[in-house]
């Protein structure tokens, strides 16, 4: 199977044309899913980067929306994926109250981009929610991080101070919960062996979600630099299977808050283009766009569902499966204008060119038809 993937990796947005064995690097921002608990600030500043990556200090700027964190000079925040649902969920106090019988949930990496949506979804669902973070992170003077953490506190989230390299703190945190969700960054995926060791020692965890939240690494063929990252994720999968750790993997495809505000264009504009667009290949391969809030919602729903045990949960909301041509056409209808198309003539695959077999996976919108997911159309309406 050949797949075209847009992925954030070490500072660049990489368009991978796996069948052509080529890689196009588009200038973007550092690709960190979550707070890297195994690194200090100075270590993060020295981490290996792509050759022409922008100033690494932008990687340390927490983001309220988008994947991964953006610097304020690169892209403005887009709370559009949350606006509609926040209007329907104004009573945060009631949402934060723990419902009797709900699983206790620990999020590791919850101050990073996708992690914060896990924390919020868990708290809103009424799960007793715990966040593992370094004390230095909690005491940071960064105003964005302080606002984020205050929001967590207001939602009733319990902070547990710890570190991936501190086994004792990991075990202590894990012993308090039923579900562990890891959203640590791509550069630290292999460090999840430490989480697995803690889970084994604690002996009480009913479900572990490793840091995935992208493509199914067992069913795509990647080239470097993403190939190595996929191999590390695959190793974690095999270790979970070998150790008999109860787990669920979430394959969420494209983060809508990252790609749709710019219509997946190079440079990641603050709003979709109104004059011309770059089209990869013939524009016909299908992609799946899922709002980050919905990724959190589906993940928390799956955490207590026996149907998802030791399975891959694929997020393929029907209304959000579009080819690039369909996406552009939808935008053109909304603005009443035909855009100039600039084609980059490379053949590419898509997110839906394999069937989800019951032996290894389930589809989230089928499992949870009551979840009113945010559609691509609704997101684009915010930019008209």
Angle (nearest 5°) at CA 17 between 3 and 274: 95
What dihedral do alpha carbons 356, 361, 366, 367 form, nearest 10°? Answer: 170
CA 6 – CA 253 distance, rounded (Å): 9
Please identify which of the residues 84, 233, 235, 341 carries the catalytic annotation.
Answer: 233
Q: Which two tokens stand for residue 200?
A: 């084994």
CA 376 – CA 244 distance, rounded (Å): 38
CA 50 – CA 224 distance, rounded (Å): 12
Instruction: Say which DSSP state 247 is in.
Output: B
Asked whether the beta carbons of 313 and 377 are under 8 A apart, the reply is no
What does the DSSP assignment read for 267-309? T--SS--SSEEEEETTS-SEEEEE-HHHHHHHHHHHHT-GGGT
For the stretch 122-160, what's the b/e string if a residue is b when 16 or more beta carbons lie within 10 angstroms of its beta carbon? bbbbbbbbbbbbbeebeebeeebbeebbebbeebbbebb
Residues 6+ apart with CB under 8 A from 29: 8, 11, 54, 58, 59, 68, 69, 70, 71, 74, 75, 268
Q: What number of other Cβ atoms are within 10 A of residue 222's Cβ? A: 20
Residues 6+ apart with CB under 8 A from 223: 16, 18, 21, 22, 23
Asked whether the beta carbons of 326 and 380 are under 8 A apart, the reply is no
Q: Alpha carbon of 287 to those of 20, 86, 173: distances in Å?
A: 19, 26, 37
Active-site annotation holds for 147: no
CA 32 – CA 23 distance, rounded (Å): 20
Catalytic residue numbers read 233
């Amino acid at each position: 199977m050949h797949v075209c993937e847009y992925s954030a990796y070490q500072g660049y947005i990489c368009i991978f044309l796996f069948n052509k064995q080529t890689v196009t690097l588009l200038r973007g921002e550092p690709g960190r899913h979550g707070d890297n608990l195994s690194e200090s600030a100075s270590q993060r500043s020295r981490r290996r980067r792509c050759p022409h990556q922008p100033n690494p200090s932008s990687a340390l700027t927490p983001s309220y929306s988008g994947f991964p964190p953006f610097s304020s000079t690169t892209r403005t925040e887009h709370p559009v994926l949350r606006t509609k649902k926040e209007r329907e969920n104004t009573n945060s106090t009631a949402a934060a109250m723990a419902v009797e019988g709900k699983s206790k949930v620990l999020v590791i990496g919850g101050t990073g981009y996708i992690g914060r949506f896990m924390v919020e979804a868990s708290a809103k669902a009424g799960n007793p929610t715990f966040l593992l973070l370094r004390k230095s992170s909690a005491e940071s003077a960064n105003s964005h991080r302080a606002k984020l953490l205050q929001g967590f506190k207001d939602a009733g989230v319990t902070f547990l101070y710890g570190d991936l390299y501190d086994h004792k703190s990991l075990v202590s945190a894990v012993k308090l919960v039923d579900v562990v969700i890891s959203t640590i960054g791509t550069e630290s995926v292999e460090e999840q062996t430490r989480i697995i060791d803690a889970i084994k020692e604690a002996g009480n965890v009913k479900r572990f979600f490793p840091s995935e939240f992208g493509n199914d690494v067992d069913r795509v063929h990647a080239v470097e630099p993403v190939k190595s990252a996929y191999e590390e994720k695959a190793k974690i999968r095999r270790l979970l299977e070998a150790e008999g750790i109860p787990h669920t993997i979430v394959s969420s495809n494209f983060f809508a808050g990252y790609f749709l505000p710019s219509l997946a264009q190079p440079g990641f504009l603050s709003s979709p283009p109104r004059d011309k667009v770059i089209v990869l290949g013939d524009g016909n391969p299908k992609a799946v766009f899922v709002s980050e809030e919905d990724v959190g919602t589906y993940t928390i729903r799956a955490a207590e569902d026996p149907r998802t045990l030791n399975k891959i949960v694929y997020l393929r909301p029907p209304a959000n499966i579009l080819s690039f041509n369909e996406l552009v056409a939808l935008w053109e209808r909304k603005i009443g204008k035909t855009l100039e198309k600039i084609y980059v003539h490379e053949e590419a695959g898509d997110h839906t060119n394999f069937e989800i077999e019951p032996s290894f996976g389930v589809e989230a919108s089928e499992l949870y038809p009551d979840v009113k997911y945010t559609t691509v159309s609704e997101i684009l309406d915010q930019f008209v």
